[in-house]
Amino acid sequence: MKTLKIAIQKSGRLNEKSVEILKTCGLSFENYKSSLISSVTNFPLEILFLRDDDIPEYVQDGIADLGIVGENVIEETGADVHYLQKLGFGKCTLKIAVPATESYTSIEELNGKAIATSYPVILDNFLKSKGVEAQIRVISGSVEIGPGLGLSDAICDIVSTGGTLKNNGLKPFADVMRSEAVLIANKTIYDAPEVAELLQRIRSVLKAKS
Ligand code: ATP
Ligand code: ZN
- Tell me: pLDDT of 2 over 90: no
The total of other beta-carbon atoms located within 10 Å of residue 160's CB is 10
What pTM did the predictor assign? 0.95
Closest CA to 201 of 94, 101, 85: 85
Instruction: Report the SS3 class of residue 1.
Output: coil
The answer to whether 105 and 84 are in contact (CB under 8 A) is no
4-90+180-209 CATH pick, 3.40.1350.10, 3.40.190.10, 1.10.287.130, 3.50.50.60: 3.40.190.10
Give me the percent of the chain exceeding a pLDDT of 90.
Answer: 90
pLDDT at residue 91, as a whole number: 95
- Tell me: pLDDT of 32 over 80: no
Ligand 1 proximity of 179 Cβ (cutoff 6 Å): yes
Substitution candidate for ligand 1 out of 13, 71, 161 with most atoms within 8 A of CB: 13
Task: Look up the CATH number of domain 92-178.
Answer: 3.40.190.10
**Tell me, what DSSP letter sits at residue 150?**
T
Using CA atoms of 2, 16, 24, 208 in order, give the dihedral in degrees to the nearest 10.
Answer: -120
- Tell me: pLDDT of 159 over 90: no
The answer to whether 189 and 65 are in contact (CB under 8 A) is yes
**Tell me, what DSSP letter sits at residue 120?**
H
Nearest CA to ligand 1 atom 23: 90
In whole angstroms, what is the distance from residue 205 CA to residue 25 CA? 6
41-92 pLDDT, tens digit per residue, is 999 999 999 999 999 999 999 999 999 999 999 999 999 999 999 999 999 9
Closest CA to 185 of 79, 66, 70: 66
| Residues making up the chain, counted from first to last | 210
Which alpha helices (H) appear in 120-183, and where do they start and end? 120-130, 163-167
- Tell me: pLDDT of 1 over 90: no
The ranges assigned to domains in the chain are 4-90+180-209, 92-178
* CA 89 and chain centroid, separation: 11
How does residue 127 score in pLDDT terms, banded at 50, 70 and 90?
very high
Ligand 1 atom index nearest CA of 160? 27
83-93 pLDDT, tens digit per residue, is 999 999 999 99
Q: Give the Å distance between the CA of 79 and the centre of ligand 2.
A: 15
How does residue 120 score in pLDDT terms, banded at 50, 70 and 90?
very high
pLDDT at residue 198, as a whole number: 97
**Domains 4-90+180-209 and 92-178 are alike in CATH topology:** yes
Closest CA to 148 of 161, 166, 163: 166
> Bridge partners of 49?
8
Ligand closest to the CA atom of residue 70: 1
Ligand closest to the CA atom of residue 142: 1
How does residue 201 score in pLDDT terms, banded at 50, 70 and 90?
very high
Substitution candidate for ligand 1 out of 18, 89, 158, 165 with most atoms within 8 A of CB: 158
Substitution candidate for ligand 1 out of 14, 15, 51 with most atoms within 8 A of CB: 14
